[in-house]
Structure 1
Amino acid sequence: MSDQVAHAGEATEAPIFAPAFQAELETLFRWRRDVRHFRRDPLPTGLLDRLLEVANASPSVGLSQPWRFVTIDDPARRAAVRADFEACNAAELTTQEGERAATYAGLKLAGLERAPCHVAVFVEPDPEQGHGLGRRTMPEAVAYSAVIAVHTLWLAARAQGIGLGWVSILDPSRIRAILDVPEIWQLVAYLCIGYAETDAVIPELEREGWENRSPINVIAR
Structure 2
Amino acid sequence: MSRFSEEEISAVYRAIRERRDMRHFLPDPIDPAILTRLLEAAHLAPSVGLMQPWRFLRINNLVLRHKIHALVEAERAATAEALGEREDEFLRLKVEGILQCGELFVAALMDGRERHIFGRRTLPEMDLASVACAIQNLWLAARAEGLGMGWVSLFEPVALAQLLEMPAGARPVAILCLGHVEAFYPAPMLALEGWTQGGSIHEQVFHDTWGNTETPE
| Fold agreement, TM-score > 0.5 | yes
Query: Is residue 15 from structure 1 mapped to residue 2 from structure 2 by the alignment?
Result: yes
Matches of 2:185 and 2:67, distance apart in 1 = 31
Residue 206 of structure 2: aligned partner:
219
Moved over 6 A (4+): none
Query: Is residue 31 from structure 1 mapped to residue 18 from structure 2 by the alignment?
Result: yes
| 1:179 aligns with one of 164, 177, 189 | 164
| 2:70 aligns with one of 65, 83, 86 | 83
- CA shift for structure 1 position 143: 1.2
> C-alpha root-mean-square deviation of aligned residues, in Å?
1.6
Residue 92 of structure 1: aligned partner:
79
| 2:188 aligns with one of 203, 208, 211 | 203
**What letter matches 2:169 in structure 1?**
I
Once the two structures are superposed, the pairs formed by residues 106-125 of structure 1 within 5 Å of their partners are 106-124=92-110
Once the two structures are superposed, the pairs formed by residues 44-59 of structure 1 within 5 Å of their partners are 44-59=31-46
Query: Is residue 136 from structure 1 mapped to residue 136 from structure 2 by the alignment?
Result: no
**What letter matches 2:129 in structure 1?**
Y
Matches of 1:15 and 1:119, distance apart in 2 = 35
Superposed CA offset, 1:134-163 (max 9, x none): 111111111110111000110011110010
- CA shift for structure 1 position 201: 2.9
- CA shift for structure 1 position 125: 5.7
> Which deviates more from structure 2 when the two are superposed, residues 141-150 or residues 178-187?
178-187
Residue 6 of structure 1: aligned partner:
none
* 1:125–1:142 CA contact under 8 A, matched in 2: no
Residue 139 of structure 2: aligned partner:
154
**What letter matches 1:75 in structure 2?**
L
Superposed CA offset, 1:61-117 (max 9, x none): 00111111110011121111011111111111112233x223211100010110010
Matches of 1:116 and 1:19, distance apart in 2 = 33
Residue 88 of structure 2: aligned partner:
102
- CA shift for structure 1 position 179: 1.1
- CA shift for structure 1 position 128: 8.0
- CA shift for structure 1 position 49: 2.2
Q: TM-score, length-normalised on structure 1?
A: 0.88
Matches of 1:128 and 1:101, distance apart in 2 = 39
Say which structure is richer in helix.
2
- CA shift for structure 1 position 38: 0.3
* 2:111–2:167 CA contact under 8 A, matched in 1: no
Between the two proteins, the alignment pairs up a number of residues equal to 206
**What letter matches 2:48 in structure 1?**
V
Residue 66 of structure 1: aligned partner:
53
- The share of aligned pairs that are identical, in percent, is 37
Matches of 1:51 and 1:199, distance apart in 2 = 18
Is the partner of 2:22 in helix, strand or coil? coil
Matches of 2:72 and 2:205, distance apart in 1 = 36
* 2:68–2:160 CA contact under 8 A, matched in 1: yes
Superposed CA offset, 1:19-47 (max 9, x none): 23222211111100000000011101232
